Chains A and B, each alone.
Chain A
């Protein structure tokens, strides 16, 4: 359910989580930023292959309400930028 098939990878476009539109979902491909932040993001469930969805943006566009591994998190755009995701091209 969660794992993106590798065969799709060619059609995927790499962006970061903060660039997803509200309601959009994508698969995590990797993490960037400080080591401690990367590890915390991974512990919250942002691991490669997992699908994330932007449920909502707070007033003024920040932070984001993100759904990952059947949990919800509020995460600022600064941190969302550290989550690399792949969306299907053309979406």
Chain B
């Protein structure tokens, strides 16, 4: 068998130089869950850059490996089971190996194989051999295989494949030096497996091969490539798509021939979708049978762990405990770190404010730049802490089990089990939650999950709920405000379910993607990998979403601050100068100084209130008052809503400024609550009634009022389409929902109370 396998299928490959040059560019590819990223981290250390492939959401991670022969550029390809591409991830992996991106083809491909699951890994290994690239096989998780009672004759494997094979352990970094020297030696092209294709297929492939050669439809345009096109569904689809795109007489004729040949193969009784994979597995089984010894299918403790962790009762309880821990970390335990960031920035703001003095510049520095920095830096502790847990859970193999347990429940809204944890995190904060959707492999499922995360009532909405409920239901029995808040949480979830279904029927159509989720072996997470990946994620947020958030915050600052020449009803400048003079004159008398200072603070509050009324946002709010009045909102609420687009946290302080009780007001401030209760429409009706309150609450549940969420959506989807579309859509849904509640309530006579 092996002796027949020596015919290289790479004869037709052009451009793979016969002169072996020193390798510069190396690609790292492998199945999901083989510890590829651990190995990447072990090889490159901190020298990594994260970017995006143009126009798609797939990330491109490039690192540098320092070697004795100078630096190597190492590209970490997305995990893939096969080079016959189905998902954007797999397409990227294939295109990188084919050299279709601007950097060109890799000089050497490292294929990471899983020692504990060699036969499945060999599919990708032998496919890469078929492309004609030089490769090195890293036999990863070699230590685990030994522990599981698997023994592999590495030398024999290397001999059979015709490529260097290096046992490695990404977690500890063992085998790193040997792997690097094998790469520096240039790897080897290896021997393609002999696949026993039926005669009808080989006949067609022989005619097809020369016509495909040089058409840039794939890697390794030789006989093997033609054979694969006729015996793989995904590869055929990819190649036919490329030929269709070429749209010439020649390409149309080739495409027709491919379709006809595949039909002939089918007619001869073969499955042209699975034939190459089946033959490949048969060849692999025969190849590795003599060199692989396995004492048991699975080590006993792996099986025991699964019996406990995927059990309907014990597994569900364990999952609840794990998720509670994750939620607590994001919801409350990150509080200390957040406070620290907050306090540091506030101190920085005050210090800079003191440095540049008051006035416009001071306000710009303090409320524009520093507040803008705060608007994204404040999320860093939450993101970092969530990702430490998430990476550890993913690396340990547990997250896949949780997804298994939750798949059916999430299926109610057409989402996979993987969507649960990001949505749960959304109740703490949408920013880390949206980033956590990375654990969802399927693009469509990930998009839908990202889209509905902002509907989970995050922590920032709590002060809004508290101030409105506090102002309006203070006299009601205590269960009433609690129920109102609970209903708001439920309302968010219900709208999320509807939106998810709606998206699946409109923008992201198609049936629920099939679930073929690997439940990888349990293993101890690699601390280094967890910390590296967390660092990478956190940095990609700071560098990718940070600038967007900063700019949006400055725009908002400007809208709240300008124009400066507001027509004020009083001459605040003169009055405050007068008060200051009187404070100086009253030297010594503490009671007089105090009362005058209070008067001065009061005066400044009234001035800020009037300035806010005259600002662009104030003007817009007054302009749109007729539009929001049917929801039960006056222009003052309008200002707070518009201000809240910076972040919902701003709602309460903005109300504080408008009602001239100061921007330090919190949701328990009696002065603020009293002012809200006493506020009246021009015709004497109270502005805040339980009905208008509920209408306002509902608006806050639905509307996407968070610049940071928009920034992170832009970063994660690599386009403005999603953030802008969701912003408009949720604004519209919020408006309609509040309108319906307020108008129906008024009709039913609930408005006046």
Say whether A74 contacts B403, CB under 8 Å: yes
A11 in contact (CB, < 8 A): no
Chain A residues near B119 (CB-CB < 8 A): 45, 69-70
Output the residue of B116, B312, B316 with the most chain A CB within 10 A. B312
C-alpha spacing A59/B310, complex, angstroms: 9
From the candidates A40, A61, A70, A78, name the one contacting B117 in the complex (CB within 8 A).
Answer: A70
A75 in contact (CB, < 8 A): yes
Say whether A58 contacts B120, CB under 8 Å: no
Interface size of B in residues (CB-CB distance below 8 Å): 46
Q: Which residues A30-84 have CB closer than 8 A to chain B?
A: 31, 35-45, 47-48, 50, 55-56, 58-63, 65, 67, 69-76, 78-79
Chain A residues near B407 (CB-CB < 8 A): 58, 62-63, 74, 76
Say whether A31 contacts B297, CB under 8 Å: no
C-alpha spacing A31/B117, complex, angstroms: 22
C-alpha spacing A35/B311, complex, angstroms: 33
B515 in contact (CB, < 8 A): yes
Say whether B310 contacts A56, CB under 8 Å: yes
From the candidates B82, B84, B278, B520, name the one contacting A48 in the complex (CB within 8 A).
Answer: B278
B518 in contact (CB, < 8 A): yes
B58 in contact (CB, < 8 A): no
C-alpha spacing A70/B121, complex, angstroms: 12
Chain B residues near A31 (CB-CB < 8 A): 271, 274
How many Å from the CB of B236 to the closest CB on chain A?
A: 8
C-alpha spacing A34/B612, complex, angstroms: 61
How many Å from the CB of A73 to the closest CB on chain B?
A: 6
C-alpha spacing A21/B488, complex, angstroms: 43
Say whether A75 contacts B306, CB under 8 Å: no
Say whether B310 contacts A58, CB under 8 Å: yes
From the candidates A38, A61, A65, A70, name the one contacting B271 in the complex (CB within 8 A).
Answer: A38
Say whether B81 contacts A44, CB under 8 Å: yes
Say whether B86 contacts A74, CB under 8 Å: no
The digit string for B280-321, where 1 denotes a CB below 8 A from any CB of A, is 011001000000001001100000001000111000100000
C-alpha spacing A8/B147, complex, angstroms: 35
Chain A residues near B298 (CB-CB < 8 A): 67, 70
Say whether B120 contacts A59, CB under 8 Å: no
Output the residue of A2, A50, A73 with the most chain B CB within 10 A. A73
Chain A residues near B403 (CB-CB < 8 A): 74
Q: 11 pairs across A/B with beta carbons < 8 Å?
A: A41-B274, A42-B273, A42-B277, A43-B277, A47-B282, A56-B306, A59-B312, A65-B306, A70-B294, A74-B518, A76-B407
How many Å from the CB of B289 to the closest CB on chain A?
A: 9
**A→B interface (CB under 8 Å):** 2, 31, 35-45, 47-48, 50, 55-56, 58-63, 65, 67, 69-76, 78-79
How many Å from the CB of A40 to the closest CB on chain B?
A: 6
Chain A residues near B120 (CB-CB < 8 A): 44-45, 69, 71
Chain A residues near B277 (CB-CB < 8 A): 39, 42-43, 47
Given contacts A58-B312, A69-B120, A79-B516, contact A38 B404 (CB under 8 A): no
Known: A38-B273, A55-B306, A74-B519. 12 other contacts (CB 8 A): A31-B271, A45-B281, A60-B408, A61-B408, A62-B407, A65-B310, A67-B298, A70-B116, A70-B297, A74-B517, A74-B518, A76-B514
C-alpha spacing A73/B403, complex, angstroms: 12
C-alpha spacing A72/B285, complex, angstroms: 18
**B→A interface (CB under 8 Å):** 81-82, 84, 86, 116-117, 119-120, 123, 232-234, 237, 271-274, 277-278, 281-282, 285, 294, 297-298, 306, 310-312, 316, 400, 403-405, 407-409, 411, 514-521
Chain A residues near B281 (CB-CB < 8 A): 42, 45, 47, 50
Chain A residues near B311 (CB-CB < 8 A): 56
Output the residue of A31, A63, A67 with the most chain B CB within 10 A. A63
C-alpha spacing A45/B119, complex, angstroms: 9
Chain B residues near A73 (CB-CB < 8 A): 516-519
Chain B residues near A70 (CB-CB < 8 A): 116-117, 119, 294, 297-298
Say whether A40 contacts B81, CB under 8 Å: yes
How many Å from the CB of B181 to the closest CB on chain A?
A: 31
Rank and list the top 8 A-B pairs by shortest CB-CB distance, nearest first: A35-B233, A35-B273, A72-B519, A42-B277, A74-B404, A42-B274, A74-B517, A59-B312
Chain A residues near B232 (CB-CB < 8 A): 39
Say whether A67 contacts B408, CB under 8 Å: no
C-alpha spacing A69/B408, complex, angstroms: 25
Chain B residues near A41 (CB-CB < 8 A): 274, 516
Chain A residues near B409 (CB-CB < 8 A): 60
Which chain A residue has the least Cβ–Cβ distance from B148?
A70
How many Å from the CB of B514 to the closest CB on chain A?
A: 5
How many Å from the CB of B705 to the closest CB on chain A?
A: 37
Say whether B237 contacts A36, CB under 8 Å: yes
Say whether A62 contacts B517, CB under 8 Å: no
Output the residue of A31, A36, A39, A47 with the most chain B CB within 10 A. A39
Say whether B519 contacts A65, CB under 8 Å: yes
